[in-house]
Amino acid sequence: MRTAEINRKTNETDISLKLNLDGNGVYEGTSGVGFLDHMLTLFCKHGGFDLNLNCKGDTFVDDHHSVEDIGICLGQAFSKALGDCAGITRYGSRILPMDETLILTAVDISGRGLLLFDCEMPSPQVGTFDTELCEEFFIAFSRNANITMHIHKLTGKNTHHIIEGIFKAVARALKTAVSIDETAKGEIPSSKGVL
């Protein structure tokens, strides 16, 4: 089973996280940030990942530390669960509609963490959630997962729909990228022989 467990404690957050890449699409626990819990529920459902998360963060300051640190931990969990990446498809992409919104996402499990994020948010907040934290989450995730990730908004006016489309599109792209390529026979998907 491709699973990982990450524990991270700082002066700002205390996080425990368990990830199963080959799960049933179930999210359990709490991030301490309601909107992020909603997005992680969608992420798990559309990626087929099981995630158990508990975060105690300094949300009395704001949600930044919790959101960023959860991105760090989730990225570390992906990297750990994938191991040497033998036999994976490696690449995945998705163009995903969410009502009036259209999101393009492409990922490469390359061993090189990089995010290109081109998604203008019409509103600075969705409820109490600062929308700039969406990019911060994926910066932390991609760097710690060692994944190259492109996220582009092609169209979209409703900020909730845009962020929801992003999480769903990333999940669907990752689902393809982490899937086992039956023709690869356990080989590393790189001419270098290592990722």
Asked if residue 119 is part of any domain, the answer here is: yes
Q: Could you report the per-residue pLDDT of 120-129, keeping only the tens digit for each?
A: 999 999 999 9
Distance between CA 113 and CA 137 in Å, rounded?
13
Distance between CA 115 and CA 124 in Å, rounded?
21
CATH of the domain at 42: 3.30.230.40
Q: Which helix (H) or strand (E) holds 167?
A: helix 159-178
Q: Could you report the per-residue pLDDT of 51-76, keeping only the tens digit for each?
A: 999 999 999 999 999 999 999 999 99
Coil, helix or strand at residue 148:
strand
Asked if residue 188 is part of any domain, the answer here is: no
- Residue 189's pLDDT is 84
- Residue 184's pLDDT is 85
- Amino acid identity of residue 178, one-letter, is V
- Count of domains forming the chain: 1
Helical pair 159-178 and 34-47, crossing angle rounded to 10 deg: 40
The alpha carbon of 67 is separated from its chain's Cα centroid by a whole number of angstroms, namely: 11
pTM of the model: 0.96
Q: Could you report the per-residue pLDDT of 79-114, keeping only the tens digit for each?
A: 999 999 999 999 999 999 999 999 999 999 999 999
